[in-house]
């Protein structure tokens, strides 16, 4: 089966960034661990955090 690259949502990414900043969920340079089940919501979270990794210097 051919893998189709899905469009990333800049709106969702900006909402996640805003939430992280407002709540102090984590700070730049912090190490975080993410557990994923493999479902679509978990994979979306992992994808977003992977995108934010360089910007937030996440380890």
Q: Which pLDDT value is given to residue 8?
A: 65
Q: Tell me what pLDDT residue 19 has.
A: 94
Q: For the segment 6-17, what is each residue's pLDDT rounded down to a tens digit?
A: 556 788 889 989
Read off the pTM.
Answer: 0.70
Distance CA 23, CA 7 (A): 27
Question: What is the DSSP secondary structure assignment for residue 39, as one 8-state letter?
Answer: S
Supply the DSSP symbol for 7.
P
3-state secondary structure 10-58: HHHHHHHHHHHHHHCCCCCCCCCCCCCCCCHHHHHHHHHHHHHHHHHCC
Place of tokens 């479902």: 39
Domain locations in the chain? Answer: 10-56
Is it the case that residue 3 has pLDDT exceeding 70?
no
């Amino acid at each position: 089966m051919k893998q189709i690259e899905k469009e990333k949502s800049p709106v969702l990414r900006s909402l996640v960034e805003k939430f992280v900043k407002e709540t102090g969920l984590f700070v730049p340079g912090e190490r975080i661990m993410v557990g994923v089940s493999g479902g679509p919501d978990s994979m979306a979270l992992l994808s977003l955090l992977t995108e934010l990794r360089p910007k937030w210097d996440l380890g």
